[in-house]
Amino acid sequence: MTRIREAILVEGRYDVNTVRQVVDTVVLESGGFRIFNDKEQLKLLRRIAVTRGLIVLTDSDGAGFVIRNYLKGALPAGSIKQAYIPDIPGKEHRKRHGSKEGKLGVEGMRPEIILEALRRAGATFEDPNEQGSKRERPITKADFYAWGLSGGPESAQRRAAVLKALDLPAHMTANALLEFINAVGTRDEIETVLRQFCKGD
């Protein structure tokens, strides 16, 4: 699978699933227009954009461009790239009705179209042969459970300690924390935080 350095932001969970089958990177969900009122999400996106770069890949309809324009002004200049899919009439198989503008969204794009959109956006493609040995495996929900960050009686307190150490929002969910760490953190970093802040747990 093709690997790129930047994280990718899409609109919905079906878009996330589609893009993850095409490229190997962190894929984040904006939740559509919810992003306008979510200051915590915006703060995380800003950190991810500055640390590794962020590619915005929304649908080609008017709503997608509203989200793009908002992020252009909300995130640091030079930290985001814009990937555009072409206008293709149609509707996704799972939907009963097509979009208001009658166009396929990211979810309905073929893999080669998504790859071409990312190339045109200036995505940083990485050679798996060159980078593979250096790449650590992603942190998973199973890791969180093993570290006591989820599913245990003191998981909430342990997560709170990690969030504080990483200067992250106190109300961040376990899933959001997992996404963030995989985007900009490392396994060593989280294990160091746990040793330092969760002694005696």
* Of 71, 100, 92, the residue nearest 18 (C-alpha): 92
Q: Which two tokens stand for residue 59?
A: 């649908």
Query: Which amino acid type is present at position 69?
Result: N
Q: What is the mean pLDDT of residues 67-81?
A: 92
- Does residue 197 register a pLDDT over 70? no
**pLDDT (0 to 100) of residue 89:** 79
How distant, in Å, are the alpha carbons of 42, 77, 101, 134, 144 from that of 175? 16, 28, 33, 25, 10
**pLDDT greater than 90 at residue 194:** no
pLDDT per residue over 83-106, tens digit each? Answer: 999 988 777 677 666 667 678 889
Residue 6 DSSP symbol: S
Grade residue 191 by pLDDT with cuts at 50, 70 and 90.
confident
Does position 177 have pLDDT exceeding 80, yes or no?
yes
**What six digits make up the tokens of 138?**
């992603």
> Please, which residues have CB within 8 angstroms of residue 122's CB and are 6 or more apart in sequence?
81
Q: pLDDT tier at 182 (50, 70, 90 boundaries)? A: confident
Q: Is the pLDDT of residue 50 over 70?
A: yes
Characterize 116-132 residue by residue with b for buried, 16 or more Cβ atoms within 10 angstroms of its Cβ, and e for exposed. Answer: ebbeebebeebeeeeee
Read off the pTM: 0.76
Q: Given a cut of 80, is residue 154 above it in pLDDT?
A: yes
For residues 83 and 123, is the Cβ–Cβ distance under 8 A?
Answer: yes
Which pLDDT belongs to residue 201? 46
If you average pLDDT over every residue of the chain, what do you get? 85
At 1-10, the pLDDT tens digits run: 899 999 999 9
b/e string for 26-50 if b means 16 or more Cβ within 10 A? Answer: bbbbbeeeebeeeeebbebbbbbbe
Percentage of residues in the chain with pLDDT exceeding 70?
A: 89
Nearest CA to 160 among 115, 201, 125?
Answer: 201
What is the number of helices (H) and of strands (E) in the chain? 9, 7
**Overall average pLDDT of the 135-139 stretch:** 71
